[in-house]
Amino acid sequence: MIMRYLLDTNVISELVRPAPHAGVTQWLATLEKPCLSVVSLAEIEFGIDTAPSPRRKGLRIWLEELTDHAELLPVTLEVALLSGRIRADSQKHGVPMTLADSLIGATAVVAQRTLATRNVKDFAGSSVATLNPFAASM
């Protein structure tokens, strides 16, 4: 069975860090096509708009290339409702979750994908399957 992944914002944005994590960049290179939630695009856009002015142009070019080549998954009604349940369950277990994280996690569940994220602890106890490409064993 081929594993299919939805990349969290912290994974895909590793590509534009000044010193990206080598294991993550190698792992990303093995993927046929990156898959992202549109919520990650909102987070990236926010990051670009708040970045120092000299970096913005290069980041915008990267984002345009990314959106041209990535598989982008929308927030559907099913994703929105599941997001609310995931977020509520997480809060009940003492692990507050942001709306963005719950939407990205719900997108992964609905699309039957494993969420590749550095923040696996944020999804512990939820229905979101995770993989940490930053882990040393990758």
Segment 2-31 shows an average pLDDT of: 94
What are the residue ranges spanned by the domains of the chain? 5-131
One-letter amino acid at 82 equals: L
**Alpha-carbon 65 to chain mean position:** 17
In sequence order, what DSSP letters do the residues of 53-89 get, joined into one string?
HHHHHHHHHHHHHHHHHSEEE---HHHHHHHHHHHHH
Backbone angles phi, psi at 50, to 5 degrees: -105, 0
Torsion of CA 44, 29, 26, 20, to 10 degrees: -30
Domain 5-131 annotated CATH 3.40.50.2300: no
Torsion of CA 101, 102, 107, 110, to 10 degrees: 150
pLDDT of residue 28: 95
Question: Residue 114 belongs to what H/E stretch?
Answer: strand 114-116
Question: Band of the pLDDT at 132, cuts 50, 70, 90?
Answer: very high
Q: For 31-79, write each residue's pLDDT tens digit.
A: 999 999 999 999 999 999 999 888 899 999 999 999 999 999 999 999 9
